């Protein structure tokens, strides 16, 4: 796994930094799942289910970090 990049947004906050790190982790996990599926180690349905599960986790993280009415 690669090291996470730094958040360079002009609207920096601890919450945005945490979400940025979670987003990078999501992207890394999706890349691994896609690689496993492409190499026949996982079915398309299983890959879809895993990606859907981690997507829901990312959405939960975002909603818990940010007030949806102001973001």
Closest C-alpha among 65, 67, 70, 59 to residue 18? 65
pTM of the model: 0.79
Higher pLDDT, 11 or 65: 65
Least confident of 18-32, 41-55, 57-71: 57-71
For residue 12, the model assigns a pLDDT of: 82
Least confident of 11-15, 22-26, 33-37: 11-15
Q: Print burial letters for 13-42: b (CB count within 10 Å at least 16), e (below 16).
A: eeeeeebbebebbbeebeeebeeebeeeeb
């Amino acid at each position: 796994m690669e090291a996470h990049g730094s958040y360079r947004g002009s609207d920096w906050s601890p919450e945005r930094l945490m979400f940025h790190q979670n987003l990078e982790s999501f992207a890394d996990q999706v890349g691994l799942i896609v690689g496993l599926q492409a190499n026949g180690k996982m079915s398309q349905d299983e890959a879809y289910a895993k990606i859907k599960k981690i997507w829901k986790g990312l959405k939960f993280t975002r909603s818990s970090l940010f007030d949806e009415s102001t973001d």
